[in-house]
Structure 1
Amino acid sequence: MKALVCILLLLETFVSVVQQQVDGGLNENEISQQISSEDRRQNPPQTDTLRAEASTDSQQCCNLEISNRTQSQVEELRKENRDREIAFSASLMESGDGNFGPFTTEITITYKKVFTNIGNAYNPFTGVFTAPLKGAYMFRISVFGHGGTGSSASIFKNGQRVISAHDIQAHDRLNSSNGVVLILEVGDVVYVRLWSGMRVYDSENNHSTFSGFLLFPLREDNLCRM
């Protein structure tokens, strides 16, 4: 009987010790969880960092693409603007002074002293302007003369008279000017013709001139609305 009591006391003591160890310590799962948590604290996940790096790379690529497109557009605009740079201005006499005319028939005036010829559309050897671009163009002429005969000239487009500058005076000096806006197709020509029996005078003061420039280019739909 005493032996049985001793055995029961030993079992109770053993159970108590084991229970204290369990209550005061951590089981295997808790230990594993604690180790895992500690590992995460020491080595945080890289997901956010990777996402941030990917976002930065994507933004840089996007910025580069936008920059390339912008540069390309700028170059296209520059080329387009260069194509639209069309203007000229010239006077009759390249040097000295004197009269041009009179003649028995109308004759094309060659304005030889070129002040401006942006786009090289005006030819000083023929006096002809050739449109390199479809558009609306402004042209102007001025004529000057001395009394005794008239000073008269006309702007022609493709062989057709458009406008004239005309003055006749018996004595002293005379001058006249006129201008017009013309719609030109590529290859259309514009020039000035002196009237039969008339003359124009020029000197270093550049009295008699012919000028023109592109106001703006035109497309087919612009012409349809006019």
Structure 2
Amino acid sequence: MCIHRKSYREDSISVQARLPIARLSSGKEIETMTTSPEVAFSARVSKHLTDLQPQQIIIFDQLITNVGSAYDPSSGVFTCPLSGTYQLFATILSGFNNKVESGIVVNDIEVARLYSGAQHAHGSSTAVMILLLEKGDLVSVRVLYQPTSHVHGVYSTFSAYLLKPL
């Protein structure tokens, strides 16, 4: 459980965690209490991945955020800690002159597909999904049908967060 402080400025919005006051651009303060559980992660591939095989999980090994500790950077799997509505994001950048066919997979069922590839360049693809997940669901990003030779490190990311618990 977490309480947020949201401060609003005319030119941007910033969020500061754990304080229950919001200040509007007019200077007026209002209370904003949020007491829903927090689940969020963001991870990226730290170095280029090569020789990936069909159905192999792409491991996003460098954690940026892991609120709730539900993403395992050693396996590449997000284990849903509680039922709810989640937003998931995956971005894959292929190596130069390569293609990567991948997908977001929940409990061995493909729910989104990404195609990253280009001739004489890097290719990028992003998938964004809003899904109802149950506690214990396993979510990952996998190579789909054919071997791939190169997932570019640093630019390839996987993220999710809980929008609303059930």
Shared fold, TM over 0.5: yes
Q: Which runs of 5+ in 1 are unaligned?
A: 1-76, 219-226
Give, in angstroms, the shift of residue 153 of structure 1.
1.6
CA distance in 1, matches of 2:54, 2:156: 20
User: Per-residue CA shift, 1:171-211, capped at 9, x if unaligned?
Assistant: 11211111111111111111110233223111xxx200000
CA distance in 2, matches of 1:165, 1:145: 11
Runs of 4+ off more than 4 Å = none
User: Per-residue CA shift, 1:87-110, capped at 9, x if unaligned?
Assistant: 0000011xxx43x13334320011
- Answer whether contact 1:152 1:200 (CA < 8 A) is retained: no
User: Per-residue CA shift, 1:19-73, capped at 9, x if unaligned?
Assistant: xxxxxxxxxxxxxxxxxxxxxxxxxxxxxxxxxxxxxxxxxxxxxxxxxxxxxxx
Amino acid at match of 2:98: T
Give, in angstroms, the shift of residue 151 of structure 1.
2.3
CA distance in 1, matches of 2:99, 2:78: 25
Instruction: Give me the TM-score of the superposition, normalised by structure 1.
Output: 0.55
104 and 146 in structure 1: CA distance in 2 versus 1, 3 angstrom threshold: closer
> Residue 158 of structure 2 is aligned with which of 179, 192, 210?
210
SS in 1 for 2:69: coil
Aligned to 2:8: none
* Counterpart mapping for 1:82-93 below 5 A: 84-93=37-46
Amino acid at match of 1:207: Y
Aligned to 2:66: 117
Larger Rg: 1
Aligned to 1:197: 147
Does residue 1:152 correspond to 2:105, yes or no? no
Aligned to 1:168: 117
162 and 120 in structure 1: CA distance in 2 versus 1, 3 angstrom threshold: same
Aligned to 1:129: 78
Question: What value does the CA root-mean-square deviation take over the aligned residues?
Answer: 1.7
- Answer whether contact 1:109 1:127 (CA < 8 A) is retained: yes
User: Per-residue CA shift, 1:103-132, capped at 9, x if unaligned?
Assistant: 343200111100000000101111111111
CA distance in 2, matches of 1:103, 1:191: 15
Give, in angstroms, the shift of residue 164 of structure 1.
1.3
Aligned to 2:12: none
CA distance in 2, matches of 1:132, 1:125: 18
Amino acid at match of 2:142: R
Report percent identity of matched pairs: 32
- Answer whether contact 2:53 2:143 (CA < 8 A) is retained: no
Amino acid at match of 2:83: K
151 and 105 in structure 1: CA distance in 2 versus 1, 3 angstrom threshold: closer
CA distance in 2, matches of 1:92, 1:85: 24
Q: Which runs of 5+ in 2 are unaligned?
A: 1-32
Going by fraction, where is strand more abundant, 1 or 2? 2
